[in-house]
Amino acid sequence: MLKEGSLKSSRILKNSSILWVAIPVEKLQKKLHRSKLDIAGAKRQARNILKKALLENPNMSPDNVEKLDVVQDAFAKRDTIIAELKPVVAELEKKLGKAEEILERYG
């Protein structure tokens, strides 16, 4: 990832294409971080729902607890969020890598 100092010094450069890259880098980093947090939150929520279902149904086997509607809904929601955000994360990482490369070359 880019260091904070490299972002500040890159804004001083005269080349307009460099300025265009340097300014939104912070926004890209925030969006990437938010997307990763959303994925982690969805995984955590599904795991917590599964644990709660296991505690509420001690007489059921773990395989049968996973088949409960509540757990299946949580897993489906998790999978949907992951499917939506994985391409966003990949694109943002690609953009940040390109921006870092440009800043290293001209900065």
Lowest model confidence (mean pLDDT) among 9-18, 26-35, 43-52, 66-75: 9-18
Contacting residues for 4 by C-beta, under 8 A, at least 6 apart = none
Query: What's the pLDDT score for residue 7?
Result: 47
Say yes or no to pLDDT of 85 above 90: yes
Say yes or no to pLDDT of 93 above 90: yes
Sign of CA dihedral 102, 24, 32, 76: negative
Query: What's the pLDDT score for residue 26?
Result: 87
How far apart CA 69 and CA 103 sit, in angstroms, is: 50
pLDDT in tens, 36-73: 999 999 999 999 999 999 999 999 999 999 999 999 99
Query: What's the pLDDT score for residue 13?
Result: 43
Burial group, residue 42, by CB count within 10 angstroms (0-12, 13-18, 19+): buried
Give me the DSSP letters along 15-55: -HHHHHHHTTHHHHHHHHHHHHHHHHHHHHHHHHHHHHHHH
> What is the reported pTM?
0.75
Say yes or no to pLDDT of 105 above 50: yes
How far apart CA 13 and CA 107 sit, in angstroms, is: 8
